[in-house]
Amino acid sequence: MIKLTTDRLKVWRNVNENGNVSWSYSISTKKQDGTYDYMSKRIRFMKDKEPNDSCDIMINNSFLSFYEVDGNKYDYLMVLDYDIINGNDSITTDEVTLTDDDLPF
């Protein structure tokens, strides 16, 4: 099992035409030509412990998992514990923040 924590993660609340709620976050990578590629990933929260709307969160405890539907496997990040971060709140960390200038391309 891989346990994950974050300093800040933007989560998006999605509601389909049937009213079912799902959650996602996105990751990006910088390509050699300087443009970015983005990908949305699924995220799940403990029952009755999900945020009310899209927001920034700090994940305290989570793990990667997957489920299968009709032979297709889908991965997701299962969040067990998190804190909501309001708009301009910041979190101090001892980690180094990288900029585009730090990347090799």
Confidence of residue 86 (pLDDT cuts 50, 70, 90): confident
Give a yes or no: residue 95 inside a domain: no
Rounded Cα gap, residues 80 and 61, in angstroms:
5
Q: What does the buried/exposed string (b/e) look like for 72-83 if buried means 16 or more CB atoms within 10 Å of the residue's CB? A: eeeebbbbeebe
Give a yes or no: residue 77 inside a domain: yes
Confidence of residue 8 (pLDDT cuts 50, 70, 90): confident
Reported as a single tens digit per residue, the pLDDT across 25-62 is 988 899 999 999 999 999 999 988 999 899 999 999 88
Which pLDDT belongs to residue 48?
Answer: 87
Containing structural domain, residue 62: 9-88
Give a yes or no: residue 14 inside a domain: yes
In the chain, the number of structural domains is 1
Give a yes or no: residue 63 inside a domain: yes
